[in-house]
């Protein structure tokens, strides 16, 4: 024991953060399976911190009670109620780990502490004090089981939650704070695919994805990782794996590594195709082409908390009027139309047109930076299949097209083949 302790203090073990979401901890049996995954990594020589979500369904139950108590609930009390879900899982996993011979203890957000700002319900992480966990690693060799999604607002000492999916963000932030070798996010899929395998059976699992690409994929509807967690991983350069908790714990496959661009040797031009069906398109015809018009359109929408995605405004032909097209989430379509209609005189447009059944298809790849004509190829391929493009936006590492929703699957398959992503 003494020899071991001495060895540990002279050369600390590498650290690993593992994160398990709701379906991976849905019941005690599944939590025991998670314990086996953790054991594998401890035996591989890591000091492990595990971040857990609430058992699946629990958060919804708690949120429903809060809303029943009052639709106008106090966000701080919401956080108090909802954070209890992760608290339960953390204690149960610690017990399951102890039952298979590992030392373990649970850590709530306020116990580390993980300090947040005051935005209860969608708080941002300020600072994580990892010293308690590092001491526990060094002195006890104990696995740290961390309740995800939660922290403490230091001024008031109240519990604050990070918003839905915040456990991914907790995990990456903890990995940064502990200077972990990597952060493994366990999900119900075994990695990040070139596109949705339900639409394209030939979709391939990617071995590596650059942070920037993953960011675009996450925000474009590939629901594997929370956008914020990818941002955080990119800023702190946390090598993050997406892997499956449904694998046999004894021989878990590595999944997909999300890492810095430099770490990816052979960079394809396009890495993946994402799509989003929950889009609606709104067009204002013959808007006066003068300064302040865009603000007149988009400020009221922002005030109504409506997130505007694609915005297309052409240079006007006559120098007097122009058309403005933008997209909003389908769920906000009616409200957005209402906001614009009420401000018709203020904005000054001739005609308001809306279409609900539209989809956004995007191709993403850091390789686009160094390749010309990538998007042009897509426009031709889609036209060849009779798919009309309603709008186009491009950025450095992606382009998106807006099309009729009925053509979604055809468009995704077309682009997936076009850029050589189909599995052999």
> Phi then psi for 19, rounded to 5 degrees?
-130, 135
In whole angstroms, how close is the CB of 50 to a second copy at the nearest point?
13
In terms of Cβ atoms closer than 10 Å to its own Cβ (0-12, 13-18, 19+), residue 44 is exposed
Name which of 103 and 369 has its Cβ closer to a second copy. 103
Going from the C-alpha of 147 to that of each of 98, 156, 383, 411, the distances in angstroms are: 17, 20, 50, 41
Query: Which residues of this protein are in contact with a second copy, per CB under 8 A?
Result: 28, 31-32, 62, 65-66, 68-70, 72-74, 76-81, 83-85, 87-88, 90-92, 94-96, 98-99, 105-106, 108, 110-111, 157-159
**Number of neighbouring beta carbons within 10 Å of residue 219:** 17
**Number of neighbouring beta carbons within 10 Å of residue 113:** 19
How far apart, in whole angstroms, are the C-alpha atoms of residue 173 and residue 160?
15
The secondary structure of 170-228 as a DSSP string is: HHHHHHHHTT-SEEEEEESSSS-BSS-TTT-TT--B-SEEEHHHHHHHHHTT-TTS-HH
In whole angstroms, how close is the CB of 53 to a second copy at the nearest point?
14
Name which of 85 and 191 has its Cβ closer to a second copy. 85
The secondary structure of 356-410 as a DSSP string is: EEEEEEEEE-GGGGG-SSHHHHHHHHHHHTTPPP-EEEE-SSEEEEEEEGGGHHH
In whole angstroms, how close is the CB of 305 to a second copy at the nearest point?
22
Name which of 88 and 337 has its Cβ closer to a second copy. 88
Say if residues 302 and 309 touch (Cβ distance below 8 Å). no
In whole angstroms, how close is the CB of 65 to a second copy at the nearest point?
5
Name which of 161 and 408 has its Cβ closer to a second copy. 161
Name which of 102 and 180 has its Cβ closer to a second copy. 102
In whole angstroms, how close is the CB of 175 to a second copy at the nearest point?
23
In whole angstroms, how close is the CB of 92 to a second copy at the nearest point?
5
In whole angstroms, how close is the CB of 142 to a second copy at the nearest point?
11
Name which of 99 and 334 has its Cβ closer to a second copy. 99
Name which of 75 and 394 has its Cβ closer to a second copy. 75
Name which of 34 and 215 has its Cβ closer to a second copy. 34
In whole angstroms, how close is the CB of 129 to a second copy at the nearest point?
12
Q: For residues 391-420, b (16+ Cβ closer than 10 Å) or e, as one string?
A: bebeeebbbbbbbebebbebbbbbbbebbe
Name which of 56 and 98 has its Cβ closer to a second copy. 98
How far apart, in whole angstroms, are the C-alpha atoms of residue 238 and residue 240?
6
C-alpha 78 chain-centroid distance: 22
Name which of 63 and 308 has its Cβ closer to a second copy. 63
Tokens read off for 5 = 């302790």
In whole angstroms, how close is the CB of 172 to a second copy at the nearest point?
24
Going from the C-alpha of 254 to that of each of 165, 176, 185, 191, 247, the distances in angstroms are: 22, 20, 11, 8, 10
Say if residues 150 and 112 touch (Cβ distance below 8 Å). no
Q: Any residues with CB less than 8 A from the CB of 60 and at least 6 apart, and which?
A: none
CA dihedral over 129, 132, 133, 139, signed as positive or negative: positive
In whole angstroms, how close is the CB of 123 to a second copy at the nearest point?
16
In whole angstroms, how close is the CB of 233 to a second copy at the nearest point?
28
Name which of 54 and 421 has its Cβ closer to a second copy. 54
């Amino acid at each position: 024991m003494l020899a071991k302790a001495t060895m540990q203090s002279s050369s600390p073990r590498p650290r690993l953060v593992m994160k398990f979401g709701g379906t991976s901890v849905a019941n005690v049996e599944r939590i025991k399976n998670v314990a086996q995954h953790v054991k594998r990594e401890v035996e591989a020589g890591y000091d492990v911190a595990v971040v857990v979500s609430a058992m699946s369904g629990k958060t919804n139950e708690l949120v429903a009670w809060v809303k029943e108590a009052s639709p106008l609930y106090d966000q701080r009390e919401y956080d108090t109620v909802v954070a209890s879900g992760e608290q339960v899982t953390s204690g149960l996993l610690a017990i399951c780990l102890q039952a298979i011979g590992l030392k373990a203890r649970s850590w709530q957000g306020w116990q580390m502490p993980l300090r947040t700002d005051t935005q209860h319900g969608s708080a941002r992480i300020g600072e994580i004090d990892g010293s308690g966990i590092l001491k526990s690693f060094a002195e006890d060799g104990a696995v740290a089981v961390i309740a995800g999604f939660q922290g403490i607002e230091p001024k008031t000492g109240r519990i604050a939650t990070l918003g839905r999916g915040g456990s991914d963000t907790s995990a990456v932030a903890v990995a940064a704070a502990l200077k972990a070798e990597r952060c493994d996010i366990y999900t119900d899929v075994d990695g990040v695919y070139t596109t949705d395998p339900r639409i394209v059976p030939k979709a391939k699992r990617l071995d590596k994805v650059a942070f920037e690409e993953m960011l675009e994929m996450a925000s474009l509807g590939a629901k594997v990782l929370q956008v914020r967690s990818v941002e955080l991983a990119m800023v702190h350069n946390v090598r993050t794996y997406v892997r499956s908790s449904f694998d046999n714990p004894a021989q878990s496959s590595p999944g997909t590594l999300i890492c810095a661009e430099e770490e990816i040797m052979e960079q394809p031009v396009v890495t993946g195709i994402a799509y989003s069906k929950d889009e609606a398109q709104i067009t204002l015809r013959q808007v006066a082409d003068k300064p302040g018009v865009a603000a007149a359109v988009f400020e009221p929408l922002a005030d109504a908390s409506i997130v505007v995605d694609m915005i297309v405004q052409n240079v006007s032909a006559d120098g007097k009027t122009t058309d403005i097209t933008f997209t909003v989430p389908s769920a906000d379509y009616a409200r957005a139309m209402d906001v614009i209609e009420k401000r018709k005189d203020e904005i000054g447009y001739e005609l308001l047109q809306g279409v609900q059944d539209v989809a956004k298809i995007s191709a993403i790849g850091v390789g686009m930076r160094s390749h010309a004509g990538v998007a042009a190829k897509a426009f031709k391929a889609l036209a060849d299949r009779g798919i009309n493009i309603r709008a186009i936006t491009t950025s450095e590492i992606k382009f998106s097209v807006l099309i009729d929703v009925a053509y979604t699957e055809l468009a995704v398959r077309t682009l997936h083949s076009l850029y050589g992503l189909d599995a052999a």
